[in-house]
């Protein structure tokens, strides 16, 4: 059960005030969400700066009248947009890692499950650009995964599965079939979407799934002592606490080169092979191509059972890249598009967004076809 250290919400004796004429922080008015943060924290907001939001939540830097240090305020999408418990996952993830000595992540302060808002400590640094990333930064991001992998088992028992966690090899292609099913049930701009899926994506999926089966058989035979684990649930000791949406896109780079890590909305148990593949493939992760082999080798050099993990990576890499093709098309689902509008706080040109996402999906699909079943980071 999550403990948010929250006030009861809302006061039973008061109605929500009308702030239409309040002078404040957004376009001459104090945005209603800021009043919720004031009630949650028990302090009046002096200023609020909207931070670089992703595609899911809204984030602000909040400065208070009676508090010297600013903090982060975060508003999560409602359950009507997404039934995943993002606030609970992130709050639990940060709390868990803070209790285990991690200092390069935010500290949870207060939250309201009902209002889907939370406050966290503000970490130093700014989002890095690809030009800022060198060997030192690759070492730092690799070390974070290594540190996660070495947490004592006793510390990790309270964790829940990460979003889209994969505990068996067959669960990797299952994720693709689940996403395809949802596109066919809920997808919009059907001519554009279905033409791509049926003429381009599914032929590649069939080819890649054949490679997946061949590799699974090959590596199962090579690693006899672990073969029984390739199709059954991964033993508890092999799993890793995973931020899931991991990479430089969710970091803050300090002037001294240190990294802080943010955005744990999908945190939980997962297969280390999935975490590593997602980090290598994520189109926004900012790892320069020339450093991806270095990233992989540094992680594998220090995590448990590196040969076993590498075998799983080689088996699922192509399938995982195809999953990312579909993730790039998320906005073809109306609730996902609405969540993106929510995070941006403004209306978007739907046709432009969907065409742009389709082009990115085609680029990812081309990369998969160019690999022709090979793993690129030997």
pLDDT at residue 53, as a whole number: 59
At 334-352, the pLDDT tens digits run 999 988 888 776 678 999 9
pLDDT at 183: 98
| 32-121 carries CATH number 3.60.15.10 | no
Whether the predicted pLDDT of 24 surpasses 70: no
Domain with CATH 3.30.200.20 in the chain: 32-121
The string of pLDDT tens digits covering residues 190-244 is: 999 999 999 999 999 999 999 999 999 888 766 655 555 566 677 778 899 999 9
Comparing 346 with 188, the larger pLDDT belongs to: 188
Count CB atoms within 10 A of the CB of residue 24. 16
Which residues make Cβ contacts (< 8 Å) with residue 281, sequence separation at least 6?
317, 320, 321, 324
Residue 174: pLDDT band (50, 70, 90) is very high
Q: Backbone phi, then psi, for 320, in 5-degree steps? A: -65, -40
Does domain 130-371 fall under CATH 3.30.365.10? My reply is: no
pLDDT tens digits for range 285-333: 999 999 999 999 999 999 998 998 999 999 999 999 999 999 999 999 9
Per-residue confidence band for 249, with pLDDT thresholds at 50, 70 and 90: very high
CA gap 221, 227 in Å, rounded:
7
- CATH code 3.90.1200.10 region(s) in the chain: 130-371
Q: What is the pLDDT of residues 88-108, one digit of tens each?
A: 999 999 999 999 999 999 999
Q: What is the pLDDT of residue 35?
A: 92
Q: What is the pLDDT of residue 4?
A: 65
Judging by DSSP bridges, how do beta strands 251-253 and 259-261 pair with one another? antiparallel
Comparing 21 with 139, the larger pLDDT belongs to: 139
Is pLDDT above 90 for 15? Answer: no
In the predicted structure, residue 362 carries a pLDDT above the cut 90: yes
Asked whether the beta carbons of 235 and 78 are under 8 A apart, the reply is no
**28-32, 163-167, 308-312: range with lowest mean pLDDT:** 28-32
CB 75 within 8 A of CB 99: no
pTM: 0.90
Confidence of residue 81 (pLDDT cuts 50, 70, 90): low
- C-alpha distances (whole Å) from 101 to each of 96, 128, 147, 153, 261 are 9, 24, 10, 15, 14
In 3-state terms, the chain is what percent helix, strand and coil (to 5)?
Answer: 50, 15, 40
User: Which whole number is the average pLDDT over 254-259?
Assistant: 92
Mean pLDDT of the chain: 88
């Amino acid at each position: 059960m999550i403990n948010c250290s929250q006030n009861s919400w809302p006061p039973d004796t008061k109605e929500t005030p009308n702030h239409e004429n309040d002078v404040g922080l957004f376009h001459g008015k104090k945005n209603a969400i800021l009043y919720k943060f004031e009630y949650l924290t028990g302090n009046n907001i002096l200023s609020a700066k909207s931070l670089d939001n992703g595609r899911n939540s809204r984030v602000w830097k909040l400065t208070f009248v009676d508090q010297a240090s600013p903090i982060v305020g975060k508003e999560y999408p409602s359950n009507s947009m997404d039934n995943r418990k993002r606030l609970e996952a992130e709050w639990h993830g940060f709390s868990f890692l803070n209790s285990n000595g991690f200092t390069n992540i935010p500290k949870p302060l207060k939250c309201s499950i009902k209002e889907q808002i939370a406050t966290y400590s503000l970490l130093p640094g700014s989002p890095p650009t690809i030009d800022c990333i060198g060997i030192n930064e690759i070492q730092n991001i690799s070390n974070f995964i290594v540190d996660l992998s070495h947490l004592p088992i006793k510390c990790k028992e309270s964790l829940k599965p990460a979003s889209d966690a994969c505990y068996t090899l067959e669960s990797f292609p299952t994720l693709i079939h689940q996403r395809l099913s949802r596109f066919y049930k809920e997808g919009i701009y059907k001519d554009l979407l279905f033409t791509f899926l049926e003429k381009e994506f599914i032929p590649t999926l069939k080819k890649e799934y054949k490679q997946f089966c061949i590799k699974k058989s090959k590596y199962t035979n090579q690693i006899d002592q672990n073969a029984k684990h390739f199709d059954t649930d991964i033993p508890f000791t092999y799993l890793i606490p995973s931020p899931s949406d991991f990479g430089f896109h969710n970091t803050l780079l300090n002037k001294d080169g240190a990294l802080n890590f943010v955005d744990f909305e999908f945190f939980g148990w997962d297969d280390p092979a999935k975490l590593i593949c997602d980090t290598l493939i994520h189109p926004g992760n900012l790892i320069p191509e020339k450093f991806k082999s270095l990233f992989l080798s540094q992680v594998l050099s220090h995590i448990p059972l590196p040969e076993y993990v590498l075998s799983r990576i080689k088996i699922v890499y192509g399938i995982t890249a195809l999953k990312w093709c579909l993730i790039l098309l998320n906005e073809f689902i109306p609730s996902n598009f609405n969540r993106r509008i929510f995070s941006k706080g403004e209306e978007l040109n739907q046709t432009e967004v969907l065409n742009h996402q389709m082009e990115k999906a085609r680029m990812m699909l081309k990369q998969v076809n160019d690999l022709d079943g090979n793993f690129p980071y030997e």
